[in-house]
Structure 1
Amino acid sequence: MRYPLWKGSAYLFGLKAGRHNSCALAKEKGLICMPNQNRRFDGDFMALKSVLESGKIGQMVRLESHYDYFRENGWYDTYGTLYNLAVHTVDQIISLFGKPDRTVFDVRSIHHPGLGDDYYDLEFFYGNGKASVNTSMCVLIDYPRFTLHGTKGSFTLPPVIHNSGKKKTVGRHKINREPAPKDRWGTLVYINDQGEKVEKKIPVYSAAYEKIYDNLAEAIEQGKEKCIKDDEVIWVLEILEQATEIAKSHKKEKKEGESK
């Protein structure tokens, strides 16, 4: 029997069905259902996660995630950026910190007002800490991919390449197994236990997308816990639904000569 990995947005159908969502139905049938949130295994995200887990920055105060483009006419002329991009970048935050205590969303369309969601700044609050997920189609000078500040230090990590310059691949995409160039590594600065300021480079290794398939096989064959939890999936999709509703609440701009 096949056990497909579903793209996050497809899972929306299960969410809208209330308690009879896809994961609940899978449990009833003794099957395994797990969305393909493979971006948890991006090399840059794993570098960020390793810094957080090391404890060197202390308590998280501020984390900013950027995934931006420069496209003069936007990406879509309708909704879709949230479910195409934020489904992964929001999931990365949820995988680190869980369900936020509260949220603040700024969602707009710069190129197609009232018709799209090509700009968003999604803020998630965890106690005294805040994490945000940001995407815009109007960024020609890169932000860092991640900027992290804590009570004991800071970490910043540049994007490997500007997204607007990435070449589209038709068919299977070959994953580069080499580490990122050293000028693309992260920089960690922190105060150690002796009160000294320490600066070090954090390597960015290749993505490890195979881990999600390994975990799925272990969940099916050995009953191991899934690395993508059902609750996490639902939290992400609830956030995307709320953010999309905000985008839809903006009025469509009337063109010249268009009737009211």
Structure 2
Amino acid sequence: MPLSSTAAVRVGLVGYGYAGQTFHAPLIASVPGLRLAGFASSDAAKVARDWPGLPVEADPVRLCARDDIDLVVIASPNDSHHPLALAALQAGKHVVVDKPFTVTLAQAQQLQAVARERRHVLSVFHNRRWDGDFLTLRALLAGGELGRVVELESRFDRFRPLVRQRWREQSPVGGGLWFDLGPHLLDQALQLFGWPQSLRVDLARQRDGAVNDDAFDSRLAYPGGLAVTLRASALTALPGPRFAVHGTRGSFVKWGLDAQEDALKAGHRPLAGTDWGLDTQAATLSTLGLDGETLQSRPVALRHGDYPAYYAGVRDAIVAGAANPVPAAQAIDVMALIELGRRSDAERRELPAVACAADSTPAASNH
């Protein structure tokens, strides 16, 4: 549906669990030109405590059908992403889906086809593109400061030894760490280096009583010998570096996770003129000096993280026809690697990576 360039995009949020409450609602509310207009949740009282006066539908399909909603944001359990996104698109809404896009590649491709047919914006919340350390790394690589990159290790280390009774850890469809953190790490790798030649993934259940995978180790192989290792674990009490990148002219190492999630969990909100997204954790760049022999190490001032930029991009795509910040085609690439990784684990071998569609390859600048 066309919108006036001066009208606020009215947003309906499906799901008010961790993702909806911590990420989506406060980020949407922080972006000029977006207005939270309603929710779908099984816990209306919880929503009302944070957002009094806004309507709460028990049935998410009813929210999708409301005339006072332009954009539906889906932050519900992973196995509901496809049917709810489909319902919203068919109801004439623009749609944002939390990662993972869907739980199968075929579902993701169907949603892309429906969105194209109806000419609606369909975007996926790969917010880790706007982590400050990732923005910093991307700039370093673009500037060639590390020379030819030969190895990147990217990790999400956590220590959560108790298996909790929540869908992320219990659901047989779309649960587990590969579906939870795998999309973040895969999307970042695709943004930096494009499509890999092959993929090897090993999934593990390490905690007592684990139902789904709670650790993974994956390796993407690229032309020229570049190796990208992606790891995550729920049993790492002493984390390794978030990023360790090595090239022919030096290395970049960053410790600790981007600070935006912790800030949102603590109730802080992105505000103009503040230090939102500031990350003061250790980051070091070690490179060859002008003599080509002496190694020089220095701390790196990290760029500010900027999760609100994602929703500002969605707003502009809807109102002004600007580029979608994370188009469905790029999220389809991630889903293709998620499926390939599950197959690699099942077959216990490295598998060739074949692009799933000509129009769903990463940006040409990344190749």
TM (norm. structure 2) is 0.59
Q: Deviations over 1:218-253 (max 9, x none)?
A: 323333332324332112112222334556789xxx
- Where does residue 148 of structure 1 map in the other structure? 245
User: What is the CA–CA distance in structure 1 between the aligned matches of 2:285 and 2:211, rounded to whole Å?
Assistant: 40
Tell me how far 1:18 sits from its aligned partner.
Answer: 7.3
User: What is the CA–CA distance in structure 1 between the aligned matches of 2:209 and 2:221, rounded to whole Å?
Assistant: 28
- Where does residue 35 of structure 1 map in the other structure? 124
Alpha-carbon spacing, 1:203–1:167, altered in 2? closer, same or farther (3 Å): closer
- Where does residue 199 of structure 1 map in the other structure? 297
User: What is the CA–CA distance in structure 1 between the aligned matches of 2:309 and 2:187, rounded to whole Å?
Assistant: 16
The answer as to 2:235 corresponding to 1:138 is yes
User: What is the CA–CA distance in structure 2 between the aligned matches of 1:152 and 1:249, rounded to whole Å?
Assistant: 37
User: What is the CA–CA distance in structure 2 between the aligned matches of 1:18 and 1:114, rounded to whole Å?
Assistant: 28
User: What is the CA–CA distance in structure 1 between the aligned matches of 2:325 and 2:136, rounded to whole Å?
Assistant: 18
Alpha-carbon spacing, 1:247–1:104, altered in 2? closer, same or farther (3 Å): closer
Q: Deviations over 1:88-131 (max 9, x none)?
A: 12111111111111111111111268942111011111111011
User: What is the CA–CA distance in structure 1 between the aligned matches of 2:286 and 2:215, rounded to whole Å?
Assistant: 31
- Where does residue 169 of structure 1 map in the other structure? 265
| Secondary structure of the corresponding residue to residue 208 of structure 1 | coil
| Secondary structure of the corresponding residue to residue 92 of structure 1 | helix
The more displaced of 194-203 and 147-156 is 194-203
User: What is the CA–CA distance in structure 2 between the aligned matches of 1:156 and 1:50, rounded to whole Å?
Assistant: 14
Q: Deviations over 1:188-243 (max 9, x none)?
A: 01114442433222112432012112222232333333232433211211222233
**AA matched with 1:73:** L
User: What is the CA–CA distance in structure 1 between the aligned matches of 2:296 and 2:317, rounded to whole Å?
Assistant: 41
Tell me how far 1:67 sits from its aligned partner.
Answer: 0.5
Alpha-carbon spacing, 1:104–1:131, altered in 2? closer, same or farther (3 Å): same
- Where does residue 13 of structure 2 map in the other structure? none
Q: 1:96 aligns with which of 184, 192, 205?
A: 192
User: What is the CA–CA distance in structure 2 between the aligned matches of 1:124 and 1:95, rounded to whole Å?
Assistant: 13
Q: 2:306 aligns with which of 198, 208, 213?
A: 208
**AA matched with 1:8:** K
| Secondary structure of the corresponding residue to residue 200 of structure 1 | strand
- Where does residue 321 of structure 2 map in the other structure? 223
| Secondary structure of the corresponding residue to residue 216 of structure 2 | strand
| Secondary structure of the corresponding residue to residue 102 of structure 2 | helix
User: What is the CA–CA distance in structure 2 between the aligned matches of 1:88 and 1:205, rounded to whole Å?
Assistant: 19
The answer as to 2:166 corresponding to 1:70 is no
The more displaced of 129-138 and 1-10 is 1-10
| Secondary structure of the corresponding residue to residue 48 of structure 1 | helix
- Where does residue 179 of structure 1 map in the other structure? 278
The answer as to 2:328 corresponding to 1:237 is no
User: What is the CA–CA distance in structure 2 between the aligned matches of 1:190 and 1:23, rounded to whole Å?
Assistant: 43
| Secondary structure of the corresponding residue to residue 340 of structure 2 | helix
**AA matched with 1:16:** A
The answer as to 2:138 corresponding to 1:49 is yes
- Where does residue 106 of structure 2 map in the other structure? 16
Alpha-carbon spacing, 1:148–1:213, altered in 2? closer, same or farther (3 Å): same
Tell me how far 1:62 sits from its aligned partner.
Answer: 0.5
Alpha-carbon spacing, 1:18–1:240, altered in 2? closer, same or farther (3 Å): closer
Specify which structure has the bigger relative contact order, considering alpha-carbon pairs within 8 angstroms and separated by 6 or more residues. Answer: 1
The answer as to 2:159 corresponding to 1:159 is no
Identity %: 24
Q: CA RMSD in A?
A: 2.9
Tell me how far 1:37 sits from its aligned partner.
Answer: 0.9
Alpha-carbon spacing, 1:113–1:132, altered in 2? closer, same or farther (3 Å): farther
Contact 1:114–1:248 under 8 Å retained in 2: no
**AA matched with 1:180:** D
**AA matched with 2:310:** I
**AA matched with 2:243:** F
The more displaced of 198-207 and 137-146 is 198-207
- Where does residue 52 of structure 2 map in the other structure? none
- Where does residue 217 of structure 2 map in the other structure? 121
User: What is the CA–CA distance in structure 1 between the aligned matches of 2:200 and 2:240, rounded to whole Å?
Assistant: 21
User: What is the CA–CA distance in structure 1 between the aligned matches of 2:153 and 2:126, rounded to whole Å?
Assistant: 20
Contact 1:63–1:146 under 8 Å retained in 2: yes
| Residue-pair matches, total | 242
